A and B are shown apart, each in its own frame.
Chain A
Amino acid sequence: MVHLPSRPVMPNSWIARHIGMRAVRSIYIVLLKAKINMLLPFGPLAILLHYVTGKHGWVFFFSLLGIIPLAERLGYATEQLAFYTGPTVGGLLNATFGNATEMIISIYALKNGMIRVVQQSLLGSILSNMLLVLGCAFFSGGIVHYNKVQVFNKSAAVVNSGLLLMAVMGIMFPAVLHFTRTEVHFGKSELALSRFSSCIMLVAYASYLFFQLRSHRSLYNPINEEGDNDQDCDEDEIPEITHWEAIGWLSVLTVWVSILSGYLVDAIQGASDSFNIPVAFISVILLPIVGNAAEHASAIMFAMKDKLDITLGVAIGSSTQISMFVIPFCVVVGWIMGEPMDLNFQLFETATLFITVLVVAFMLQEGTSNYFKGLMLILCYLIVAASFFVHVDPSNDAN
């Protein structure tokens, strides 16, 4: 029900009641229909805990749980809005708001000067998208369709891999420069280089969007799209809420996510102490799993419906977006805020990113998928997670 029936002039009370009904209906559709929203109460509970007990471990845990449904609903609202704005702006919306949760959490951490948390959480988001989400999707899809090999569009995967490699290049140079102690002004050169590289990466991302949305749309047609007309698929879903409702919910959810992120970021250090886990592990593994929970679920669902192109778009597209847009964006925001956020992710993290991008790029290049590839990716993620479980940040030593 998208369009309201034309109504004759009505008294104000009727209009007020009608708007009230619509608001209630809207709340029902957005907040109460999805099962994931059972986690919604954890948000206010976390805030309560923060003020009443100050026990950072629990505050952190509950904020995590509280953010998950909000992130998912944010994605839903963006999707709904995309129905009204057409493919171009819709794609742009997805490209910008797709990782809104990570961006909001990062900007809060930046404001608190927790630069390493920002770097590590963004890195972890890339790793989790490339390995965990993609791996689970390939694995589930492979098991459901085990009698055939699933295919996806190679050229999109190759372009994304190329972009990821370019991002790795942008991240590697400041790190290697710093590590080999060969910069002109120690400490200041990588910052200047990072800011310059970030601008270049943003330009590259903008041209990528332009390229993807305008010029070469034919390159990105899914391989098995012709068969979609028979199936009852999600893409032919009609929008469930109206244009303005979508925008309204987008703003409401963004505000809600920001509030919770504030508490989340404040509780990280305390949680690390009380749970006895390194901050690196929390930032790289725990935070992104939560931030990506919704994408995770949708990627697996699409893979099981044999729509691997959408899965790849979700997983690898999200990685590309974070590496080529969010990370440089955070550097620029840090520049504006006056925080020394740079692209020097320290050698261990950079090496991890490098080898992961290589492994994934290599596995994607032939355009097929099966459950074994998925399992390999998941196991790689377990190795990465274990490495970060025993990893302490050296940055205190360097300063």
Chain B
Amino acid sequence: MSYMLPVEMESIDNESIHEFKDEILSIPEMKAQKSQPIQELGEGSFSGGLQAKGDDKMWRNVVCRSIKTVVLSNKLNMLMPFGPLAIFVHIFTGHNGWVFFLTLLGITPLAERLGYATEQLAFYTGPTVGGLLNATFGNATELIISIYALKHGMLRVVQQSLLGSILSNMLLVLGCAFFCGGLVFQDKEQVFNKATAVVNSGLLLMAVMGLLFPAVLHYTHTEVHFGKSELALSRFSSCIMLLAYAIYLFFQLKSQKNLYVPLNEEGSQNEENSDDDDETPEISKWESIIWLIIMTSWISFLSEYLVNAIKGASVAWKIPISFISVILLPIVGNAAEHASAIMFAMKDKLDISLGVAIGSSTQISMFGIPFCVVIGWIMGRPMDLNFQLFETATLFITVLVVAFLLQDGTSNYFKGLMLILCYLIVAASFFVHVDPSAADEAGT
């Protein structure tokens, strides 16, 4: 959940408690069953909930309600039992293929709930810190999986899963969103804010540049110290990319807030009341933080099993590891963003869809990847930005195609279909792609 909603968050922030209560009462029926516990919770938390601390029963109620809101209310959470099931299978059978599959299924709802907890926390912290939270925790799942893989020295898996996450966000998620939105709104052309798309495309191209140079340097065998130069270059480039990302955040959150107002926002805020953006927080601030911590630890726990099972799954199912890392892992990691992007596109809020999809890609390419390089540096792992020629070329052509399609600021179902078909071509290419790095390392 990495999209920025500075204006909506501002409006929530400025409301007084009484307006807050009035808004609760005006939430339509679909939220009605939640409004009762919210109202009580609201009164409990907002008017000095500390007075409930002394009462044990009140505590238990709060915890139960919290669990109910966070864990049980979402249909996706049916997949949650797969997590512990995966651990059982791992301990008892050691069948890596199934462990991998079940862990994948188990992480999906956790990733979604993590995003939900981040959103909820963002309501309390105000737009700036909220945006920062979204920017950092938006792809927490991918980051956690990557850090575990790094720890195990599976550098190619890290590179490929991050690359696959970028590709899946740019092509699959965006394509599905455009396609569904275009089908629902067949009679008109959906528009979105060009400026955001262009800035994000520029950042993605900059990331491609950062990835291209070490790869080409290595491939043309023209570096000063073979093998060591790209590592040094990668680490330097990563610091620069992190700096660029920090400045981008600053730019987005502080200076140019008016640049990112979505095109049809003026009408939408007054008319629609089934608006997800005007949703009020459903759990309190401390609950959000606690749930954030719980979800993160749970995901870390499952990621351990996931990463351990990758190689075994590849052998058991006869699929190249690159296909698992580039296509399967990210589809799962992005499942929640996928669903929300499609939903927003069907509600004709393309700016939010774009923020989810392209913003997530930007975040991974300008923050996630350099961050992993730096973590690798700290851990002493030789993680670099040399993603090997094939992957780099794939990223390059994909960024170009997407940047081109986004630049005129309109969308229709055909564009979405094109993006999805491009993703199928990319997936097919990785299905028949073996990694040369094993051969390279043997050679050097």
Contact = CB atoms under 8 A, between A and B. Distances in A.
A193 B404 contact: no
Contact of B425 (A154, A159, A197, A215): A197
B365 interface: no
A158 B425 contact: no
Interface in A201-239: 201, 203-204, 207-208, 211, 215-216, 219
Given A165-B400, A180-B436, A173 B429 contact: yes
B433 A177 contact: yes
Contacts of A161: 404
A184 B433 contact: yes
Contact of B404 (A162, A176, A190): A162
Please classify how large the interface on chain A is, using the bins under 10, 10 to 19, 20 to 34, 35 or more.
35 or more
Contacts of A200: 421, 424-425, 428
Contact of B397 (A172, A204, A208, A216): A172
A173 B390 CA distance: 8
Given A173-B429, A193-B432, A180 B418 contact: no
Interface in A173-195: 173-174, 176-177, 180-185, 189-190, 192-193
A290 to B, nearest CB: 32
Given A182-B433, A192-B432, A165 B414 contact: no
Contact of A168 (B394, B397, B432): B397
Nearest 5 CB-CB pairs, A to B? A189-B432, A173-B429, A211-B414, A165-B401, A196-B428
Interface stretch (B8-16, B139-147, B282-290, B405-413): B405-413
Q: Is the interface of A mostly helix, strand, loop or mixed?
A: helix
B426 interface: yes
Given A155-B408, A166-B401, A361-B404, A183 B434 contact: yes
B390 A180 contact: yes
Interface in B370-426: 388-390, 393-394, 397-398, 400-401, 404-405, 407-408, 410, 412-415, 417-418, 421-422, 424-426
Contacts of A182: 388, 390, 433-436
A185 B407 CA distance: 39
Contacts of A163: 418
Given A177-B432, A193-B429, A169 B404 contact: no
Contact of A207 (B401, B404, B414, B426): B414
Given A172-B397, A182-B433, A184-B432, A204 B421 contact: yes
Interface residues of B, number: 36
Interface of A: 154-155, 158-159, 161-163, 165-166, 168-170, 172-174, 176-177, 180-185, 189-190, 192-193, 196-197, 200-201, 203-204, 207-208, 211, 215-216, 219, 354, 358, 361, 365
7 contacts: A158-B408, A159-B415, A166-B422, A170-B425, A176-B393, A211-B412, A211-B413
B72 to A, nearest CB: 41
A172 B393 contact: yes
Nearest to A159: B414
Contacts of A197: 425, 428
A178 to B, nearest CB: 10
